[in-house]
DNA sequence: CTGAGAATGAGAATCAATTTCAAAATGGCC
DNA sequence: GGCCATTTTGAAATTGATTCTCATTCTCAG
């Protein structure tokens, strides 16, 4: 058996997340495992919106025996614990982003390079709420995604056209 | 062989759509077929957001030999022709709505009964544009979906709790 | 009416995600 | 430290939506 200890990468924030996860896990009879440690570690070492495939890839670098099912399962636990949130952008796969101490935000997604920018706009949120009320709706969650070309890819396209 | 003629259901609008489709089809060397007629007919006879399954179900009532692949293929053609638009709400399946002479709109989706309400809000669109510009983005399309309980289901929930 | 090309249906294939299951690991308990 | 009920794991099977393949059938311009 491989030793359980591993160099924890990442900031205080990821340390806090790991603690929260530990109590979440023990509080409901789950068990801490080497694989979960690796996956969680890998997840918090990155920033951005990771797909399960990407996470699996990186996790395998540390422990080649880790299987895809475990990554799926672990990310679901992280999401349940409120430490990650799942996003379903265009293109099929679910992506996860760190969720601890973050407020709500929406996304700009570049359809050319795939880069994702987060933004917050209080005014839009308010208007959404108003619209919903006008229709008698009680909104529990929403999805606002703006797709297009990022600054970088716009420039590139312009020069391609020359 | 079953006769090709069928009672065209629906309004002038669906008649217009059928004409547009006919010219789209002939203009690119595609062919008109009995199955496509049935599917298109069934699609325009309904209002709302239909899944391929629902369309297949109804199409089969008219012609039990129609296969799922044909419905997928036909709806893709309709979308390409600008007569239907595909929507990907939470829950997996693609849904299609009629698109002829409609402007852009977004959706309120009831997570309890599945009903879908459309809305337009010019102010939100403008703010989205502003946000995108602030980040150097050129937006090509977007997705705004508000999920929650519709008026009807809120009432039901309240009485369930008694 | 004919023939080239397009469309069809059934089933296989794909893709992301979930489930199954036998074997392995975990953690409270003594 | 060892026991052992319970949880986890990896691999493979399964699911669900969609797409593809291919042999056969249909459409339509000439």
Q: Looking at the structure, tell me whether residues A91 and A23 fall in a common domain.
A: yes
Non-local CB neighbours of A106 within 8 Å, separated by 6+ positions: A118, A119, A120, A121, A124, A143, A144, A145, A146
B148 and chain A in contact, CB less than 8 A:
yes
Residue B7 lies in a domain: no
DSSP strands (E only) in A48-122: 50-51, 84-87, 95-98, 106-110, 116-119
Residue B79 lies in a domain: yes
Residue B74 lies in a domain: yes
Chain B residues close to A146, C-beta within 8 Å: 128, 131-132, 137, 139, 142
Distance, CA of A25 to C1' of C25, in Å: 16
Is the Cβ atom of A5 within 7 Å of strand C at any atom? Answer: no
Please indicate whether, in this complex, the C-beta atoms of A137 and B111 are within 8 angstroms of each other: no
Place of tokens 């008219």: B62
Chain A residues close to B88, C-beta within 8 Å: 90
pLDDT of residue A8: 52
> Could you write out the three-class secondary structure of B106-159?
EEEEECCCCCEEEECCHHHHHHHHHHHHHCCCEEEEEEEEEEEECHHHHHHHHH
Tell me: pLDDT of B89 over 90. yes
Residue where a domain stops, chosen among B98, B131, B147: B98
Is the Cβ atom of B22 within 7 Å of strand C at any atom? Answer: no
pLDDT of residue B151: 94
Q: Looking at the structure, tell me whether residues A64 and A23 fall in a common domain.
A: yes
pLDDT of residue A10: 58
How far apart CA B106 and CA B121 sit, in angstroms, is 8
* Three-state secondary-structure class, residue B47: coil
pLDDT of residue B161: 67
CATH of the domain at B27: 1.10.10.10
pLDDT of residue A162: 66
Helix axes A122-134, B122-134, angle to 10 degrees: 160
Q: Looking at the structure, tell me whether residues B92 and B110 fall in a common domain.
A: no
The whole-chain average pLDDT of chain B stands at 91
Tell me: pLDDT of B1 over 70. no
Q: Say if strands A106-110 and A138-149 run parallel, antiparallel, or are unpaired.
A: parallel
pLDDT of residue A79: 97
Chain A from 23 to 42: CB within 8 A of any B CB? none
Chain B residues close to A138, C-beta within 8 Å: 148-149, 154
Tell me: pLDDT of B3 over 50. no
A104 and chain B in contact, CB less than 8 A:
no
Tell me how far apart the 2 most distant CA atoms of chain B are, in Å: 62
Place of tokens 């080497």: A34
Residue A89 lies in a domain: yes
B117 and chain A in contact, CB less than 8 A:
yes
Q: Looking at the structure, tell me whether residues B91 and B113 fall in a common domain.
A: no
Is the Cβ atom of B66 within 7 Å of strand C at any atom? Answer: yes
Tell me: pLDDT of B138 over 60. yes
Report the range of poorest mean pLDDT among A57-61, B9-13, B16-20, B64-68: B9-13
What domain range includes position A141?
106-160
User: Which run of H or of E encompasses B51?
Assistant: strand B50-51
What tens-digit pLDDT sequence spans chain A (162 residues)?
444 444 555 567 788 999 999 999 999 999 999 999 999 999 999 999 999 999 999 999 999 999 999 999 999 999 999 999 999 999 889 999 999 989 999 999 999 999 999 999 999 999 999 999 999 999 999 999 999 999 999 988 778 766
According to DSSP, the residues that pair with A85 across neighbouring strands are A97
Please indicate whether, in this complex, the C-beta atoms of A151 and B137 are within 8 angstroms of each other: yes
């Amino acid at each position: 058996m491989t030793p359980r200890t591993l160099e924890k990468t990442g900031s205080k924030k990821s340390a806090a997340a790991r603690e929260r996860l530990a109590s979440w896990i023990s509080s409901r009879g789950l068990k801490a495992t080497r694989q979960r440690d690796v996956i969680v570690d890998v997840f918090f070492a990155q920033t951005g919106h990771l797909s399960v495939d990407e996470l699996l890839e990186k996790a395998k670098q540390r422990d080649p025996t880790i299987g895809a099912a475990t990554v799926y399962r672990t990310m679901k636990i992280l999401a349940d614990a409120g430490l990650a949130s799942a996003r379903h952008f265009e293109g099929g796969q679910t992506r996860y982003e760190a969720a601890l101490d973050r407020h709500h935000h929406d996304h700009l997604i570049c359809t050319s390079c795939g880069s994702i920018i987060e933004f917050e706009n209080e005014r839009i949120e308010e208007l959404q709420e108003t619209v919903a009320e006008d229709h008698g709706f009680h909104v529990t969650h929403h999805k606002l995604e703006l797709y297009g070309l990022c600054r970088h890819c716009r420039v590139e396209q312009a020069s391609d056209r020359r």
